[in-house]
Amino acid sequence: MKLFLPNGFALDPTSETYSDDVMCIGQEAETNLYKFFEDHGVTRKHGSSVLKVLRELYRAGKLDLKIKAYYAHVYAGTICDPAPSQLNQILVIRG
């Protein structure tokens, strides 16, 4: 879902609004994901079917621009994520 946040994001687990921040960021990512699906003619939007579609799009190289933009945000520091840093480096550009 991080791929669908075009402006990056910042999460601070010590913040009093952390839960609300996670929800807002998640809703933004979900909205952008559905827009991406619409642009690619995908109608499935629930559970495992979303993962299946994302895998297909990834294998076809349709997520390459999103992956490049995500890494640009990581390297520029516009993503502040409390997840372990090795999880930010798991995507490979397919194209």
pLDDT digit string (tens) for 6-22? 888 888 889 999 999 99
CA distance 77 to 81: 10
Residue 37 placed within a domain: yes
Residue 25 placed within a domain: yes
pLDDT at 8: 85
Domain with 18, as residue range(s), is: 2-89
Dihedral class, residue 93 (left if φ above 0, else alpha if ψ from -120 to 50, else beta): beta
Residue 95 placed within a domain: no
| Closest CA relative to residue 39, chosen from 13, 65, 2 | 65
Measured CA to CA in angstroms, residue 6 lies from 10, 16, 77, 79 at distances of: 12, 25, 13, 10
Rounded to the nearest integer, the mean pLDDT of the chain is: 86
13's CB contacts (< 8 A; 6+ apart) are 82
Number of structural domains found in the chain: 1
Q: What is the pTM of this model?
A: 0.79
- pLDDT band at 75; cut points 50, 70, 90: confident
Residue 14 placed within a domain: yes
Residue 19 placed within a domain: yes
pLDDT at 81: 74
Tell me the pLDDT tens digit for each residue of 25-60. Answer: 999 999 999 999 999 999 877 878 898 999 999 999
Residue 57 placed within a domain: yes
Residue 83 placed within a domain: yes
Residue 21 placed within a domain: yes
| Closest CA relative to residue 49, chosen from 61, 60, 37 | 37
